[in-house]
């Protein structure tokens, strides 16, 4: 999970346009939120590797996954992602629950 989060977090800085497209319009300052979520993924991912920080990082990851759930719903419902098969967009929703469960295993 640590590697997954760190790589995803780095990708927020490498390819921000990918993440900016996923953000629902009701959220303010998409650029700032992209960089904050990328930094959070990197920090929490690294925190999983440090036993003293693992519990805090796990809860941070859980909150982060809950916070980004509206982006998954937006991807499914906006019509902006018609090149992605609908079943993949649907699969992302329960996958978020699996990721939350996985993060909880580190608490």
Which structural domain range is residue 13 located in? 2-104
Model pTM? 0.91
Q: Closest Cα to residue 38, out of 69, 73, 75, 5?
A: 5
Give me the pLDDT at residue 24, please.
96
Give tens-digit pLDDT for 41-64: 999 999 999 999 999 999 999 999
Rounded CA gap, 24 and 30, in Å?
Answer: 9
User: How many domains, the chain?
Assistant: 1
- Mean pLDDT value of segment 65-73: 95
């Amino acid at each position: 999970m640590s590697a997954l989060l760190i790589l995803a977090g780095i990708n927020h800085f490498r390819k921000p346009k990918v993440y900016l497209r996923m953000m629902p319009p009701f959220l303010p300052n998409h650029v700032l939120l992209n960089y904050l979520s990328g930094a959070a993924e990197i920090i929490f991912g690294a925190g999983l590797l440090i036993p003293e920080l693992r519990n805090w990082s796990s809860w941070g990851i859980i909150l982060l996954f809950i916070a980004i759930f509206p982006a998954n719903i937006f991807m499914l419902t906006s019509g902006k992602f018609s090149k992605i098969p609908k079943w993949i967009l649907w699969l992302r929703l329960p996958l978020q629950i699996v990721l939350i469960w996985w993060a909880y295993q580190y608490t």
